[in-house]
Structure 1
Amino acid sequence: MKKKVVVGLSGGVDSSVSAYLLQQQGYEVIGLFMKNWHDDSVTISDECPWLDDSNDAMMVADKLGIPFQTVDLSEQYKERIVDYMFNEYERGRTPNPDVLCNREIKFDVFMKIALSLGADYVATGHYCRKGTIEQNGETVYQLLAGKDQNKDQSYFLCQLTQEQLAKTLFPIGELQKPEVRKIATEQNLVTANKKDSQGLCFIGKVRLPDFLQQKLEPKKGEIIEIEAEKELYKAETPQFSNKEEELKFLAKKYKYKAEDGKLVGEHQGAHFFTKGQRKGLAVGGTPQPLFVIDTDVEDNVIYTGQGKTHPGIYRKALFITQDEVHWVRRDLAINPDETLEVKARIRYRQPLQSATLHQTENGMYVVFEQPQASITEGQFVAWYHEEELLGSGVIS
């Protein structure tokens, strides 16, 4: 009996080639397109990209001669991704919809549908790889970076579990992007030269600020500039009576008040802005460009600083509450008072940074060797050993 694989055909080149490769490897392949959006009250654009994508996916399935169907997951998507996003933005946090979409939709709702169709595996067009090792007679699955370092997408899968990895295949993880396009061209797949989609995971072409503005009310507020020479950046490091006090100090955010700086402009809502943002402030006349160093959604104030080296941008450590610490490799999880040297990143495509994990009773501190720019609440930090992603957490 051939093993059965359901491929999430998105209408892009990566998933198309994944389906072709699995077919070549002798699997019985089924193509499934996820429709994740049809709420017209939040218009996204006049074009309807998901229809184009769904047609492209269908044409690829037709060319490969595999069964194809569309599943409508828009209800679950709205509930688990969109509502969560609006909620996070209102709290002044910046969520990562792509990580969530993988955790909540592709590798949960979608995977359950695939397994109910009798599939042995689910496959996606992600640039990452799966490894297996045996430990005490049990199989442990590894999430490994994709061979194409420009395209490695392991970060987006940082919330996967052993159970999900056990049932997943990543057919293009060993390939470089140009090789994937070459295969698609050789097989005459309609997606061969299609541009990579930019936008919310599976909703298609959407600019996040436009999307948010349709649900979050604009409200005028002040843009305050904080000078780099401010006293609060020169505070002496206190004496600590224990390690956790020191960790708390390193991870602590600067607390700003409007009177700490000067008024330089107005904005339409603090919840539309995120740390490190430079575009969209519309404040001119400063010697160096202004960057967002903090947002206060309670008082609707945006705090900014001049230039990339402004001290308000940098922090040495971050904290993850215990309920948001996630280990892909549960066997490597550390206990309270234990530490682990790792490489970590706080955003997709960021080069890996040397860091130490410190587990406490209340959660985990990630302390970086070098101060990091724009550590942003609501985003994910992921930690690695060499090319293996070991775990992740939501920055608190």
Structure 2
Amino acid sequence: MAKKVVVGMSGGVDSSVAAYLLKEQGYEVIGVTMQIWQDDAQENPDGCCGISAVDDARRVADALGIRYYVMNFKKEFRENVIDYFIREYKNGRTPNPCIACNRYVKWESLLQRSLEIGADYIATGHYARIVQLPNGRYAIKNSVTAAKDQTYALYNLTQDQLTRTLMPVGEFSKDEIREIAKKAGLPVAAKPDSQEICFVPDNNYAGFIERETGEKEKKGNFVDLDGNVLGEHQGISHYTIGQRKGLGISLGKRTFVTEIRTGTNEVVLGDNEDLFGKKVYANNINFMGIEDISDEIRGVAKIRYNHSGDTCRIKRIGEDEIEITFDKPQRAATPGQAAVIYSEDGIVLGGGTIFPLK
């Protein structure tokens, strides 16, 4: 009897090809799109789970001859992604909502519902691979294509989730995936990739937060590293570490956000060189390829999605805290973003959320 797999279908080419590949491999494939929009007015026409995504995913399912459903995850998405996103920005941090969505919606909630309908696995169109290591643990490994690698956003998955997950797209490049879709006659073969955070299609994060909370953000002071007032900012959720454009202040030189102080509602401005440092601290740790860190280890760490990663030493400094010391200074380690640790051969060892150690 064929193993049953639920494929999270976003209406894009990657998840569509994932469904096709798994069907070709002999699985009983069921397509599911997660309904996450809180109301139709929010729907992003280019987003991964909006109304147009449902239409595209349904057409793909019809072409493949597989069952297809839309499952309502509005509550889970609101609590674990939108509320988290707003809370982090209001606390002066810069969140990565895709990581939260992956762990708590695409995996935790979708996996549970899939098991309830008799599925053996869930699958996605992520550019990543799942491997079982000699130590018995399961881990995410870099995809074959560095250009589309999505392992950074998957570091927070649990061992149980990984044992029940398939990621067939990780063995291919994007061009190969589009070619497979074309040859298979899938109607989304040429569909462009979505870029923005799906629930903020205009990229105006501060405006989204004001609309969602109904609260006008409190203005405060721009200050320099010594605390001297330089001007007025529009509210801390408008800013992130390393930002230069859109500050609304001219100091006669290139100026960057170097710190956000929620206690005093201040945004600190400085020079580019003020953004560099070797040490990064992370908490809310999830170990993946290793069970724990007892002694200091070496690895490669990424501190943002598009960071190429750099060599470092990692050690535990608390019950749920690690210290990462890079061999070379890194620019703009940002509280709220993830620090993800890899082995030299691209295995995700674990990661956590960056926080400032004062």
In 2, Cα distance between equivalents of 1:28 and 1:173: 20
State the number of aligned residues: 348
Rate the CA distance shift 1:11–1:47 in 2: closer, same or farther, 3 A.
closer
Shift of 1:326: 1.3
Q: Secondary structure at the match of 2:51?
A: helix
Return the letter of the residue paired with 2:298.
E
Q: Which ranges in structure 1 are unaligned for 5 or more consecutive residues?
A: 227-255
User: Which residue of structure 2 lines up, in the alignment, with residue 266 of structure 1?
Assistant: 232
Shift of 1:204: 7.0
User: Which residue of structure 2 lines up, in the alignment, with residue 89 of structure 1?
Assistant: 89
Rate the CA distance shift 1:47–1:159 in 2: closer, same or farther, 3 A.
closer
User: Which residue of structure 2 lines up, in the alignment, with residue 278 of structure 1?
Assistant: 244
Q: Secondary structure at the match of 1:258?
A: coil
In 2, Cα distance between equivalents of 1:155 and 1:162: 16
CA contact under 8 A between 1:56 and 1:191: conserved in structure 2? yes
Matches within 5 A, 1:7-156: 7-39=7-39, 44=42, 50-135=50-135, 139-156=136-153
Give per-residue Cα distances to partners, 1:82-139, cap 9 Å, x unaligned: 111211111111111011111111110011111111111100000000112354xxx4
Q: Secondary structure at the match of 1:173?
A: helix
User: Which residue of structure 1 lines up, in the alignment, with residue 331 of structure 2?
Assistant: 373
CA contact under 8 A between 1:120 and 1:167: conserved in structure 2? yes
Q: Secondary structure at the match of 1:316?
A: strand
Give per-residue Cα distances to partners, 1:4-27, cap 9 Å, x unaligned: 110000011100010001111111
CA contact under 8 A between 1:44 and 1:206: conserved in structure 2? no
CA contact under 8 A between 1:198 and 1:204: conserved in structure 2? no
TM (normalized to structure 2)?
0.92
* Range that drifts further, 292-301 or 142-151: 292-301
1:316 is aligned to 2:278: yes
Return the letter of the residue paired with 2:86.
F
User: Which residue of structure 1 lines up, in the alignment, with residue 179 of structure 2?
Assistant: 182
Rate the CA distance shift 1:148–1:47 in 2: closer, same or farther, 3 A.
closer
In 2, Cα distance between equivalents of 1:178 and 1:286: 45
User: Which residue of structure 2 lines up, in the alignment, with residue 346 of structure 1?
Assistant: 303
Q: Secondary structure at the match of 1:286?
A: coil
TM (normalized to structure 1)?
0.83
Give per-residue Cα distances to partners, 1:149-168, cap 9 Å, x unaligned: 00100000010111111000
In 1, Cα distance between equivalents of 2:342 and 2:101: 21
CA contact under 8 A between 2:8 and 2:34: conserved in structure 1? yes
In 2, Cα distance between equivalents of 1:374 and 1:295: 12
* Range that drifts further, 341-350 or 352-361: 352-361
CA contact under 8 A between 1:276 and 1:293: conserved in structure 2? yes
Shift of 1:266: 2.8
Shift of 1:282: 2.5
Shift of 1:293: 0.7
In 2, Cα distance between equivalents of 1:360 and 1:299: 28
Q: Which ranges in structure 2 are unaligned for 5 or more consecutive residues?
A: none
Aligned sequence identity (%): 37
CA contact under 8 A between 1:45 and 1:206: conserved in structure 2? no
